[in-house]
Amino acid sequence: MLLRAFGARIGSGVHIYPSVSITIPWNLSIGQDAAVGDRAILYALGPITLAERSTVSQGAHLCAGTHDINDPARRLLTPPILIEQDAWICADAFVGPGVTVGRGAVVGARAVVMRDVQPFTIVAGNPAAIIREL
């Protein structure tokens, strides 16, 4: 896989659609049997980790970069994103910098997640709120 040549750590059985946009691939780590859907954006200014069997659906956006609003120079911050095992980021969802989506959690379609999602929890909406536990 070409991503490995640019420093990405990619496990076996990973499926990444050709239309996925990846910024700074050496900040990307994808575990075994994970999948990244059509037109997803992995904006890896900071580390993005997709654990084993996690799924990022079509059009989802993982953004591991922001700016320090308290700094007049607005310096770049690059907090990591972690998508744990068996978690699912549904279509067109947005996951912000510094967020961990827990094991087996589901981020609903078009949800905006700016805080951690607990394991085995479904969240949806903008801002994302708990729908139920699995």
Q: Which residues contact 89 (CB under 8 A, 6 or more apart)?
A: 54, 55, 56, 57, 60, 62, 83, 95, 101, 107
pLDDT of residue 110: 98
pLDDT of residue 1: 67
Dihedral sign of CA atoms 87, 18, 128, 49 in order: positive
What structural domains does the chain harbor?
2-94+109-133 (2.160.10.10)
Give 10-residue mean pLDDT values along the chain (134 residues): 90 97 97 98 98 98 97 97 98 98 98 98 97 95
Query: pTM of the entire structure?
Result: 0.96
